Structure 1
Amino acid sequence: MPEHELMDFDALYQGKSVQMNDDGPTVEIIPWQLDGPQPLVVELVEAGEFTGPVLEIGCGLGDNALYLAEQGLKVTAVDAAPTAIEQNRAKAAARGADVTFAVADATVLDGVGDGFASALDSALMHCLDADQRRAYLAALHDRCRPGARLHILCFPPAIGDFFPLGAETDEASLRRDLGEHWRVERMEIRRYTTAFTKDQWQTMVPNSEVESDDDGRILLPIWQITAVNS
């Protein structure tokens, strides 16, 4: 699948160590494993920014999708990693959560349905190259109803020093590609919560300065984007 080219995500979900890019650091943990939803997603939900049905693309460990469903929203969540989807279905069954989890190529989104009123991309889009990103945003446009709101969390260029980015993620490039099908309402740098502790981060990326939250989890800068389907 396209979003696997920079990093073997399925191997990561199988518990294996994975190298980021050819010369990047090796990760021993899943960086986004919080055992709960991403705080920025919680913030959006509490602000009433999601209406159903919701499509999550690149759902990873499924925690955001499960959280959305437990707030009463109808949710379809897709990822290109079969291991993640299998694990997520088991988690949903154990929690009695009604989420449709499916394996799908983000650049095509075949078989996921359509008519979505909201969509969530929590740190997927920066894994795509320029052509894949344009195809992805077009596929999302087709799957979402007019006026649907798309929420994206996407790493900015500075993160490329230690995390592989598939294409340019500066503001101008993102606005250009989004503008083909989506009207950007919000685009600002926020902080993305990771599973890394300071010690783990310094071992992986020595001599780097980063923030942490009250629980000691490393916070990385990320674009928070909201766009409306035009």
Structure 2
Amino acid sequence: MADLHPAHDRQDSREPGIDFEAVYQGREISYGADDRRSDLIPWELDAPQPLLVELEAAGEITGPVLECGCGLGDNALFLAGRGYEVTAFDAAPSAIERSRAKADAAGSAVTFTVADATELHGIPGGFRTVVDSAMLHCLDTDQRRTYLAGLRRVCAPGARLHALCFRGELAARLKMPAETDERSLREAFRDGWTIRRMESRDYTTGLTRQAWEDLVPAASGSPERDDSVSVDQHGRVLLPFWQITAELA
């Protein structure tokens, strides 16, 4: 899930305790409290996140664009292919190396860079749109505040932030570092951001139902089936997420 990003570096954005550099180097990693292990990257689709494709089709993306916690770069490459100027960062150097190789192969002009979401060192200014596809929920309360303050510094007045974030029930199962109920998230955005949209949506993962239940057995509603998730027409697990759109004053 590129976005099931618990924090890389410290860690900047995906499940707590995950070594994201190891993830992008292809090593087996552990998820959850019982140390379930897999070499899958659940948030990677080898394609853009469908909710982002929907936003672009609806005219809700304006360049230049910043993508936070870009993983293997598929969202950024999609947006660049649609004609936007795109900068994308991740805290895992291997993710950025692989993304740059993809961009070179595609002849894409995306600027991929290594950065920590809570510092944004080396990130230029003037962005009109920010895309956060499953990174916000990996930050603790203080990191969220620092991250959103940093985005205010690098965004133009009136910029729009699209954040896709675990809903509270999912974050609780995966033991994320801070609450993701509506009240907690609205509190995180209160300084300088105005939330224009906050609704429940389905976030597409690269997992089959069986892979999801093998990875996160505590999420199973019964020994036979986890009724808390659904699958799309391609058999990919859909997880309950918040779709948040916030504007900078």
The TM tier, using the shorter chain, reads over 0.9
Aligned to 2:241: 222
Q: Find the aligned partners of 1:222 and 1:47 in 2 and give their Cα distance.
A: 19
Pairs aligned (count): 230
What corresponds to 1:213 in structure 2?
Answer: 232
1:149-197 Cα deviation digits (max 9, x unpaired): 0000010121134423121111011101101121000001100000111
SS in structure 1 of the partner of residue 186 of structure 2: helix
Q: Which residue of 2 aligns with 1:126?
A: 137
Aligned to 2:112: 101
Q: Where does structure 2 lack aligned partners over 5 or more consecutive residues?
A: 1-8
CA RMSD of aligned residues (A): 1.3
2:49 counterpart (38, 51, 56): 38
Secondary structure in structure 1 of the residue aligned to 2:150: helix
Does the residue aligned with 2:55 lie in a helix, a strand or coil? Answer: helix
Q: TM-score, normalised by structure 2?
A: 0.89
Note the residue ranges of structure 1 that are not aligned, 5 or more in a row. none
Within 5 Å, which residues of 2 pair with 1:68-147?
68-147=79-158
> Does structure 1 retain, via aligned residues, the 8 Å contact 2:21–2:95?
yes
Q: Secondary structure at the match of 2:143?
A: helix
Match of 1:190 in 2: 201
Alignment deviations for residues 105-154 of structure 1 (CA, whole Å, 9 cap, x no partner): 10111111001000000000111111111000000011101100000001
Q: Which amino acid aligns with 1:216?
A: G
When normalised by structure 1's length, the TM-score is: 0.96
**Partner AA of 1:183 in structure 2:** T
Check conservation: 1:185, 1:227, Cα contact below 8 A.
yes
Q: Could you tell me which residue of structure 1 aligns to residue 210 of structure 2?
A: 199
**CA separation of 1:197 and 1:25: change in aligned 2, threshold 3 A:** same
Secondary structure, aligned partner of 1:101: strand
Q: Does 1:165 align with 2:184?
A: no
CA change 1:172–1:161 in 2 (3 A) is closer
* Aligned-partner SS, 1:109: coil
Residue 19 of structure 1: aligned partner: 30
In percent, how many aligned pairs have the same letter? Answer: 53
Between the aligned partners of 2:134 and 2:21, the Cα distance in structure 1 is: 16
In 1, the alpha carbon distance for the partners of 2:60 and 2:47 equals 19
**2:64 paired with 1:53:** yes
> Which consecutive segments of 4 or more residues in structure 1 shift more than 4 A?
none
Q: In the TM superposition, what is the alpha-carbon distance from 1:18 to its structure 2 partner?
A: 1.2
